[in-house]
Amino acid sequence: MKLAQIQMRVGPDKAANLRHAEALLARDDAGERYELYLIELPSTAAAASLQAAAALRSRGRRSPLAFLAHTPAHAYSAYRVDAMQYLLLPVPPEQLDALLARATEPEYGPAIPVATASGLRVLPFADIEYLECTHHVVHFHLASGEDVPSLSVRVPFAQVAQPLLTDERFVQLHRSYVVNLAAVSQLAAGEFWMQSGARVPVPRGREPAARTALKDYPAASNPLCTGRQGAAIRADRRRWSHPRCR
């Protein structure tokens, strides 16, 4: 499989081609993390690649792992390190598309840890409709209808929400709310109408920014939206952000 095939699907700046297992671990040592590890098992160095995958797991890396091989001989070893997929080369385009789609499913997607009165909860981004901050408590409203309140926080709301705001799905137009645009059904009368039926207020004067956010969301969430267009959308969102929660 050529790197160009991956870049065509996820964007030219979102795929790194590392030729040796040692290079992968060196990148990890340097603090670089990836959302998907696609590891080829060459006939002459399959053991080294499998050992690198095992090392990633031992370091706590939970991003999905997929293996490409010329033979099924190493499939058992691959699944022992929690492989998501084991594909035989050459990989048909439809199998590659299915692999990339599966890697973005909630099971493998990003999640945020939340300290609650009943213990630590880990909430997938895809399950969160919106956040609401009231009296130093952040309420994580889920698509299921559940409200997960955090323990009292002593840091700005934007700091709590920062992991979500790095994801193109989430936007903060109100100082006390962060909204998952993927869970918005419409914008009407100064409110986001959520798919669950909840209503999230949009401050007066922010409706144009809200309409722009909804219009740009499909483009911003598209992995092929890079360069000037993607940078402009992200810059607009930073200007809209409200850093405080009162």
First-residue to last-residue Cα distance in the chain: 52
Rounded to 5, what percent of the chain is helix, strand, coil? 40, 25, 35
Structure confidence by residue, pLDDT tens digits, 49-62: 999 999 998 888 88
More confident residue, 225 or 160: 160
Whether the predicted pLDDT of 80 surpasses 70: yes
More confident residue, 117 or 122: 117
β-bridge mates for residue 119, sequence order: 116
Residue 229 pLDDT:
42
149 within 8 A of 138, measured Cβ to Cβ:
yes
Residue 193 pLDDT:
94
Residue 106 pLDDT:
63
Which of these ranges, 21-30, 98-107, 149-158, has the smallest mean pLDDT?
98-107
Residues 165, 239: Cα–Cα separation, whole Å: 13
213 within 8 A of 174, measured Cβ to Cβ:
no
Share of residues in the chain with pLDDT > 70 (%): 81
Whether the predicted pLDDT of 121 surpasses 70: yes
β-bridge mates for residue 200, sequence order: 192
Whether the predicted pLDDT of 179 surpasses 90: yes
Which of these ranges, 45-54, 76-85, 133-142, 146-155, has the smallest mean pLDDT?
76-85
Task: Single out the residue of 47, 52, 66 nearest to residue 21, CA to CA.
Answer: 52
Whether the predicted pLDDT of 74 surpasses 60: yes
Q: Residue 176: which pLDDT band, with cuts at 50, 70 and 90?
A: very high
Residue 132 pLDDT:
97
Residues 139, 131: Cα–Cα separation, whole Å: 6
Share of residues in the chain with pLDDT > 90 (%): 41
Residues 30, 44: Cα–Cα separation, whole Å: 27
Residues 6, 12: Cα–Cα separation, whole Å: 8
Predicted TM-score of the model (pTM): 0.54
Residue 8 pLDDT:
62
Rounded mean pLDDT of the chain? 82
Burial class for 68, CB neighbours closer than 10 Å (0-12, 13-18, 19+): buried
